[in-house]
Amino acid sequence: MNNNQKVVLVTGSSSGMGRATVLYLAKQGYFVYAGSRTPEKLFDMRSENIYPLKLDITDPQSVENAVPKIKRIDILINNAGYGLVSTVEEVTEKEMFAQFNVNVFGVMRMCKAVIPKMRKQKSGVIINISSFLGKIGLPLLTFYNASKYAVEGITDSLRYELKDFNIRVHSIMPGFFDTNFARDNLVTNRATFSTDSPYAKMVSGLAPVIVAQINNGNSTDEVTKLILDIIENKDSLARQTAGDKAKKFIPMKKELSDEDFERRVRAYYDL
């Protein structure tokens, strides 16, 4: 790393969108700390511009151990996350907490750790990888929805808090992307997916459709290029969408009443 390089910290870098972002930004000349609970999965991409970093965002001690090792952080990309598939009735306490511990509290821990560095530098960019489901509810994804709604709220509030310190905060709301998310980052509740579940009919109809849409989603290239544009354009919008589903549903949500939008979603997913 040389003194002229901008330094990026990416969470959840071992696979999917996080890994693609690390590789893309490094190729653009940024020095990237690739954070992961399993940094050994990152050793294959270690280079002069990529440094694998052991970082578990659910563990405050891990965050406290990792972030001070980085002298300067110009950009934080809160990418780590997963989706819990469960009904509200059947979810366990452990599953509920785990979903929010990663998707919400993990974002807050990272911001809390990094903001002091950016504030002293009087500059910084924080990009929260949210989801179009942070603005739109779907059954079986209530907890993922709620966590991403929370990320949108965090983004809005931090924009006010950090503006005077020249720290920009943005969110990206992707639709469904082909990142192995359905295989690696969806956690299913056993009771919900049991044939004895009172929601079995809904699960059998909706779950395969959602998985298929994820597996046939857009390329990660769209998101990585959008991240770079936000970093380099100080006039970037507070939040931006990426992918077909996000670009279809988010504008529709703004145009229609809640009831009309719900009818459209019910028809689209045959609910």
**Could you give the residue numbers annotated as active site?**
14, 130, 144, 148
Alpha carbon of residue 159 to chain centroid: 17
The two structure tokens encoding residue 202 = 């809904």
143 within 8 A of 186, measured Cβ to Cβ: no
> Which has the closest alpha carbon to 185: 11, 9, 15, 13?
15
Distance CA 107, CA 129 (A): 10
DSSP 208-255: HHHHHHHHT-B-THHHHHHHHHHHH-TT--SEEEESHHHHHHHHHHHH
80 within 8 A of 185, measured Cβ to Cβ: no
| Extended strands (E) in the chain | 7-10, 31-36, 50-54, 75-78, 83-85, 124-129, 167-174, 186-188, 239-242
> Which has the closest alpha carbon to 132: 206, 214, 189, 58?
214
Q: 186 Cβ partners below 8 Å, 6+ apart?
A: 82, 83, 84, 85, 211, 214
Angle at which helices 93-100 and 142-162 pack, to 10 degrees? 30
* Count of other CB atoms within 10 angstroms of residue 172: 25
Distance CA 120, CA 135 (A): 33
